[in-house]
Amino acid sequence: MINLAALHRVRKHPAFAAYFDFVLPIFWPVVFWYLLRVADSVDARRCGEVLVFVHWWGGIEITYYGDPAPSPSAYRPLTPMRKAWDDPAWETSVPVFLGAEASAVIFPCFSGGSGRPRSGLTKGACALSPHADTS
């Protein structure tokens, strides 16, 4: 025997009202019974959504099962591969006496230079003109 109060509640529910509107009132118990079967089938497969076909006589046929609902324990946030920028591990170990003047000599491009050697460095062997190799 079908519980008429439960049938009335399901018929008024916004998610299922369209199913009951599609069939004749004499077949509402059939729709109710098939909705229970569909709910059991969806719970057994643990899928989120299904695509159904409703017959005029109240039968409901599942035509497509959606993707399974993801497990809540499946999400694991990514762990950072490097330390944060404010971590002390990023501090420099260059001594204090190698300040801005030393870095201008070592890294001329970063200190606004062109990257070419200064004129004081071009004396001697560096100033030789290239010659052809005759060996």
What value does the mean pLDDT of the chain take? 78
Q: Pick from 27, 83, 86: which is nearest to 55 by CA?
A: 27
Tell me which of 15-24, 54-63, 93-102 is least confident: 93-102
Residue 112 has pLDDT above 90, yes or no: no
Spell out the domain ranges in the chain. Answer: 4-65
pLDDT in tens, 49-94: 899 999 989 899 999 998 887 777 777 778 878 888 888 877 777 6
pLDDT at 117: 55
- Global pTM reads 0.49
Match 């959504």 to its residue by tokens: 49
